A and B are shown apart, each in its own frame.
Chain A
Amino acid sequence: MLLLLLLALPLCAGIAVAVFGWTRVTSWFCVADAAAIGGLAVWLAVRVADGSTFHAAGGLLRADALSGFMVLLVAILTMLATSSAVGYVRAEIEHGHTTAAATRWYGALVMAFVATMLFALLAANVALMWVAIEGTTIVTAFLVGHRRTRASLEASWKYVIIGSVGIILAFLGTILLALAARHAGLTSAHSLDWEALTSAHARFDPGVVKLGAALLMLGYGTKVGLAPMHTWLPDAHSQAPAPVSALMSGVLLSVAFYAVLRWKVVIDGVLGIQFLRILLAGAGLLSLTVAALMMIAQRDYKRLLAYSSIEHMGLVAIAASVGTRLAIAALLLHVLAHGLAKGVAFVCSGEILLQEGTTEIASVRGLLARNPLLGGTFGFALIALLGMPPFGLFASEIAIARAGFSAGMGWVITIAFVILLVVVAAVVTHAQRMLLGPAPAGTETRTFATTAVPLVGGLLALAAIGVSIWPIEHLLNAAASVVAR
């Protein structure tokens, strides 16, 4: 019942916007709806934190600590995105970038997007999980192309084609795993059920599982944005409206990685940890390298943030390749902290774009002096993304490193952190040009309170989990033991 309500809530708000249009009332209704999703997510998180599992809708939906944790992340980013959208969409209309009809679509699709992500997290059936993740590409396609320029058209075309063509491989992988399950004695009703797959995997045919595992990693890896399947990501994330970029970068990539984690449990059970370890570590290091190289000479601050997402997903893949309980707990903390930091950073980037009318790094100067609140939050979000204390990513990166060294993967971690230093140098160079320096006279700007509150709140939450993970410690441990037993 709880799980069904969780799916119904965003759909209600989406329908409300579709019927009444994007108005003051409906935009605030979305915020209230997001808060309600947050409330339910906390309730779910508390109930699954002891390791228990819930089923609903005749076994169709299922929630354990891992899904509970991810639902919480989706809820937090939804609150950030809906509350910042109130001011953002109003300003877009004032600037003449969008129309009433387009905002109606915008609101309805954003809420549908949230519902699809929640469905992916709560689906008990691995094929339905795939259907939901493929569904996220479809509902976000028009959001990427929201501005209807040539560039956004190109971005949305690449996004849908590369996304769909890539992720369909994951479906083929799912079929092969189900075939292996059928021949290991599972009934056809159970061969796609995650719980049944994890309880019977010892008898699966290793040859078939290897082929299926490679396809699953290629498919979901595309959606996660791991190199070399990442080419769509910088285009899509830089063209989407800021609140949508926040959701796509902050949480959709992690939802796709959630699918990787679910499959990792099954695949490791058949092939041992080594098979996926090599694939994940390789993809992780390659993603880090590509992201670092592209960030050095980057001229566009939204693309800079997009490449930073590829970098962080690379790190997440490395944490998954380590695969111990400590590593998975660190991975989940990293996903949460990255979601918050990237969400705040993208919302800031939207505000900067509204003020400057361009996404070029070179044309933004003296931001701190001109708008201390916006410059400050953007600066702190970047500092957080670089893994500096006191923010959450510092804690998670240290934990990933510790887990890696104690699992004998010290060399991978060492290479990864050397690349991270390059990223730090690149981002600091770009950021100081944008933020520091005197303000040209008469260019001071202000930020809506509806945008400022979520930005500051997000940063405070990020600092809080960097200082102590005490409130989510049980949930984090329970979620980690779903993946690494």
Chain B
Amino acid sequence: MSDATYGQLLELAAAVALAASIVMLWRRSLEAIVRTLAVQAAAIAATSLLIGLHDALVAEIAIAALIVVVKAVLIPWLLMRLLRTTTDQRVAEPALNTAASLVIAAVLTLGAFGATASLVQLAGGEEGRLLPVGFAIVLIAYFGLVTRRNALTQIIGFLQLENGIALVALLASTGGSLLVELGTALDLLLAVLVLQVLIVRMQSKLGGLDLDHLQELRD
């Protein structure tokens, strides 16, 4: 693989990951959102694989496999299974309409490029140039978390956040420690399992995924 192709492929993977974030903000069907989340994870796995192949790093290739198994297959499968048991198949009207959300996503992406200039300069290289993409995914995920009051989209927001951070870690090449990756993957998987159980309880108690029903604890 020549350096130019490597750079182009890396850009493509990062672009797919960012586009997935925007699609998740735009779509209202929960099933479509979960599928897009899987695509995003696959794009991040591809980034890891590319870096691993290019720099001949075994750890990065193993991490790519780990990401595919946990984030692109296992977690989306769990969420799909959960979705089949729920009555809500669509996200309720978010606090902000879709057009305004997309404009804000664009602003956040620009902001991510602006805020991480010193980082890009330090990291350098083809990977470093793409670092702001990871930050943009993080910011868009936070925005989605704040504006959507649905239990499932909150889990997806959290996973998207994790995807963005994983992309930053890969591009900054500070990952590489398989032990840390295993630890974070285990944390992530367990967190999703815990949240899944809470959602099942929530449905039997509240009859839906709308978090506005949870308003009991006040001062």
Where the two chains meet, the residues of A that have a C-beta atom closer than 8 Å to any C-beta of B are: 125, 127-128, 131, 134-135, 137-138, 141-142, 145, 148, 150-151, 153-158, 160-161, 164-165, 168, 171-172, 175-176, 178-180, 182-183, 188-189, 191-192, 205, 207-208, 211, 234-235, 238-239, 294, 297-299, 303
Residues of A within 8 A of B197 (CB): 142
Q: Taking chain A's interface residues, is the majority helix, strand, or loop, or is none over half, making it mixed?
A: helix
Q: Are B169 and A153 in contact (CB under 8 A)?
A: no
Asked if B9 is at the interface (CB within 8 A of a chain A CB), the reply is no
Residues of A within 8 A of B186 (CB): 131
The 10 A-B pairs with the shortest beta carbon distances in the complex, nearest first, are A207-B118, A131-B183, A178-B174, A154-B214, A127-B180, A179-B172, A235-B217, A141-B194, A138-B190, A151-B216
Nearest CB in chain B: distance from A287 CB, A: 15
Which of A207, A238, A294, A298 gathers most chain B CB within 10 Å? Answer: A207
Residues of B within 8 A of A168 (CB): 158, 161-162, 165
- 15 additional A-B pairs beyond A171-B184, A299-B219, beta carbons within 8 Å, are A128-B179, A131-B183, A131-B187, A160-B195, A161-B155, A165-B158, A168-B158, A168-B165, A175-B165, A182-B174, A192-B174, A207-B118, A207-B122, A234-B219, A294-B219
Nearest CB in chain B: distance from A221 CB, A: 16
Which of B142, B179, B180 gathers most chain A CB within 10 Å? Answer: B180
Which of A164, A234, A238 gathers most chain B CB within 10 Å? Answer: A164
How many Å lie between the Cα of A189 and that of B119 in the bound state? 21
Which of B123, B142, B219 gathers most chain A CB within 10 Å? Answer: B219
Residues of B within 8 A of A148 (CB): 201
Nearest B residue (CB) for A191? B174
In the complex with contacts A164-B191, A172-B165, A150-B219 CB distance below 8 A: no
Nearest CB in chain B: distance from A384 CB, A: 24
How many Å lie between the Cα of A182 and that of B151 in the bound state? 39
Q: Are A175 and B168 in contact (CB under 8 A)?
A: yes
Q: Are A156 and B198 in contact (CB under 8 A)?
A: yes
Residues of B within 8 A of A127 (CB): 177, 180, 183-184
How many Å lie between the Cα of A191 and that of B174 in the bound state? 8
In the complex with contacts A156-B198, A160-B191, A180-B122 CB distance below 8 A: yes
Nearest CB in chain A: distance from B96 CB, A: 19
Asked if B84 is at the interface (CB within 8 A of a chain A CB), the reply is no
Nearest B residue (CB) for A307? B219
How many Å lie between the Cα of A127 and that of B175 in the bound state? 10
Residues of A within 8 A of B115 (CB): 211
Among A138, A156, A189, A235, contact of B187 (Cβ-Cβ < 8 Å):
A138
Asked if B147 is at the interface (CB within 8 A of a chain A CB), the reply is no
Residues of B within 8 A of A208 (CB): 118-119, 122
Q: Are B205 and A211 in contact (CB under 8 A)?
A: no
Q: Are B122 and A188 in contact (CB under 8 A)?
A: no
Nearest A residue (CB) for B168? A175
How many Å lie between the Cα of A192 and that of B214 in the bound state? 40
For chain B, residues 115 to 160, give those with C-beta under 8 angstroms from any C-beta of chain A. 115-116, 118-119, 122-123, 138, 142, 145, 151, 154-155, 157-158
Nearest CB in chain A: distance from B156 CB, A: 11
Q: Are A142 and B187 in contact (CB under 8 A)?
A: no
Asked if B176 is at the interface (CB within 8 A of a chain A CB), the reply is yes
Nearest CB in chain B: distance from A96 CB, A: 19
Q: Are A164 and B158 in contact (CB under 8 A)?
A: yes
Q: Are B219 and A303 in contact (CB under 8 A)?
A: yes
- 21 A-B residue contacts at CB 8 Å? A127-B177, A131-B180, A135-B190, A137-B191, A153-B201, A164-B158, A164-B191, A165-B142, A165-B158, A172-B168, A175-B168, A179-B119, A179-B174, A188-B173, A188-B177, A192-B180, A205-B118, A207-B122, A208-B122, A211-B115, A297-B219
Q: Are B194 and A142 in contact (CB under 8 A)?
A: yes
Asked if B65 is at the interface (CB within 8 A of a chain A CB), the reply is no
Residues of B within 8 A of A171 (CB): 165, 184
Which of A179, A191, A211, A235 gathers most chain B CB within 10 Å? Answer: A179
Residues of A within 8 A of B206 (CB): 150
How many Å lie between the Cα of A161 and that of B209 in the bound state? 14
Which of B123, B162, B215 gathers most chain A CB within 10 Å? Answer: B123
Q: Are B145 and A165 in contact (CB under 8 A)?
A: yes
How many Å lie between the Cα of A141 and that of B155 in the bound state? 15
Q: Are A160 and B184 in contact (CB under 8 A)?
A: no
In the complex with contacts A165-B145, A165-B161, A175-B172, A153-B214 CB distance below 8 A: yes
